[in-house]
Structure 1
Amino acid sequence: MTMEEKTMKTERVYEGKIINLRVDTVELPDKKYSKREIVEHSGAVGIIALTDSGNIVLVKQFRKPVEDSLLEIPAGKIEKDEEADACALRELEEETGYRTSNMQKLISFYTTPGFSNEVIHLYLALDLDKGIATPDEDEYIEVVELSIQDALEMIELGEIKDAKTIIGILTANQRFLKKANS
């Protein structure tokens, strides 16, 4: 049995700066119909930036949807006609002031495929050069550096709650840091 849903009709509900919302009427595999509310997003990047001393560079900022200040990896939305690699370099510098010529892509993943098409591309940035952060005019960001061990403990304690940050720290730890320490 095929698991695909055939789109029969699309209704555009909202078009915004960050997201669009559409409602699709779909035909299910059993020939019944249903509606799917879909958030369209252009994609984003997240950067696991490691200093020469082995600390991870995070940003702390207030997130209105969850009414809390969160510790996160530097990240941002991919702009129209922008490549993910270029976006990662831009966001790292804008949010933290750090620049690098040593950035490698780690993984890409869907954030919430039950209702959104957003993909986040995670990068590892090494050999950082410190500059001056230039966040967007509506961003109030505090740069925080933590040891990987402290970051891992904060994940376990529920103090780091952002999914892309948790995935990034765990991926970097698994792929690179454990190998470097063995």
Structure 2
Amino acid sequence: MKKFEERTLTSQPIFKGKIISLQVDEVELPDGNTSKREIIKHPGAVAVIAVTDEGKIIMVEQYRKAMERSLVEIPAGKLEPGEDPAASAARELEEETGYGCAEMEHLTSFYTSPGFADEIVHMYVAHGLQKIEQPAETDDDEFVELMELTLEEAIQYESEGRIKDAKTAYAVQYLQLQKAIGK
């Protein structure tokens, strides 16, 4: 047994939706006792840091029902089954913003809430942005407004609470670091 490993004894599916599923696992703890774990399964997601030649960060504003408010975010979306994350990132960038890019560079991947969910976000940096004449359309249930912010505006949006999600906060910090080291 690996250090701190929790061996699954039983797994009970509770809910299977369009995006997530929920299960309750009974696990054996490292000390031999048992406990229950509520786990959300997610197919994974991508997020894109895209900056124009003029230094504007490409973002979108959209309503987030779970928060009951609109948030300003970098382009992002769910991976489709079997989809390559880089291809997914390019697709989401085009659908949500109307931009394409010459190159999609993988920056990092991170778990959003590993205490109860297996969602992983693959973060990319888009290089060589260009506006697409006839971009792919957004999903039928997705309504977004394109925004192009300077780094200073993005920092201000964070202080105002308009940027409040982890992937976008990460992107803003990444861009601040790049600026600080002269890139």
Is 2:140 aligned against 1:137? yes
The offset of 1:30, in angstroms, is 1.3
Alignment of 1:106-117 (within 5 A): 106-117=107-118
The offset of 1:150, in angstroms, is 1.3
Within 2, Cα distance between the matches of 1:133 and 1:152? 30
| Residue aligning to 2:158 | 155
Alignment of 1:18-167 (within 5 A): 18-131=19-132, 132=135, 134-167=137-170
- Aligned to 1:115, what secondary structure does the other structure show? coil
The offset of 1:156, in angstroms, is 3.1
Over aligned residues, Cα RMSD in angstroms?
A: 1.4
Q: Residue 71 and residue 133 in structure 1: after superposition, are their counterparts in 2 closer, same or farther (change >3 A)? A: farther
Percent identity (aligned): 48
Within 2, Cα distance between the matches of 1:6 and 1:133? 44
| Residue aligning to 2:179 | 177
In the alignment of these two chains, the number of paired residues is: 180
Matched-pair contact (CA < 8 Å) for 2:48–2:123: yes
Q: Which has the larger displacement, 59-68 or 145-154?
A: 145-154
Within 2, Cα distance between the matches of 1:2 and 1:104? 34
Unaligned runs of 5+ in 2: none
Within 2, Cα distance between the matches of 1:84 and 1:141? 21
The offset of 1:163, in angstroms, is 1.1
Q: Deviation above 4 Å: which 4+ runs of structure 1?
A: none
